[in-house]
Structure 1
């Protein structure tokens, strides 16, 4: 019996993963990751890094981050506390959905996760104070491959649900995309 329901999203390769909670009067158990079950959703690499973030203030935006090839990574992003509006942007060169974005509400209550393939940028906006996320990564962080987009780039036109707040210096100073930007070749 699968512990996950996987739904295809409008951007090819991007998936919504919903967990089946096993619960009783004591609480619940949720399987956060299973390589065997998630292989059908496209996860074909080992988890090599797991990160936990806490963002304190509602409205804060983190992102839009990605790693360049050959360090491109898949991510499975889950919300453990609070609520976030999680966004993925397709950066794959030649993709029919190039530079399109999709967002899902992830919360501790809805037991959803976003499976983000290689070639996508990722970011989120905190919808409740004190949101915590857990990331499973298919590649280790590589500083020389770090890249990102400005979260308010007009070419992306991400419709953040709240006023954007608390951008890091790094994210706030990222340049907007050049008209010639053609994407990431995987």
Structure 2
């Protein structure tokens, strides 16, 4: 695995290296020891997946509040998505900055998201599935979100969403 830092401290792009032969390929997508060596969380008590039927489906921007903030390792297992992380850590020099990465099932790449960051994605084609390793169990009363098009972040989405849930569309603007 290859770890690439982004412009937001703690957000990493994780690329896999594969062995290929006439059967296909084999790739390690997670190794607790390798993640620990990079100072990253390597225990994930919960995994989630979301399936998205249509291109242009937007999910986000979600996070979980204290005292159980989430760390996520997110991978697209079918299709392609534009994945976005926004730094909500008020004391960080990158507060309110965002990073976007295309996650592609064929590339098997992932993004590691530290606590204190909001996360969302936009599907780039029909029939996409996204798989999440979660560093914390879901606590419904701590679930939070901010609006996907909040001017405080100025996220440059590759297209306007065609489908967004009522809940996500009505998330509030960020108040720092």
- TM-score, normalised via structure 1 length: 0.91
The CA distance in 2 between the partners of 1:141 and 1:5, in whole Å, is 29
Which of 124, 128, 131 in structure 1 is aligned with 2:125?
A: 128
Cα-Cα RMSD: 1.1
Find out whether 1:116 has 2:74 as its counterpart. Answer: no
Deviations 1:33-71 (A, max 9, x none): 211111133323511001111111111110000000111
1:62 maps to: 59
Contact 1:43 1:74 in 2 (8 A): no
Gaps of 5+ in 2: none
1:7 maps to: 4
Which of 168, 172, 175 in structure 1 is aligned with 2:169?
A: 172
Give the count of matched residue pairs. 176
Which of 86, 90, 103 in structure 1 is aligned with 2:87?
A: 90
Shift of 1:22: 2.1
Gaps of 5+ in 1: none
1:157 maps to: 154
- TM-score, normalised via structure 2 length: 0.96
1:26 maps to: 23
2:43 maps to: 46
The CA distance in 1 between the partners of 2:53 and 2:171, in whole Å, is 22
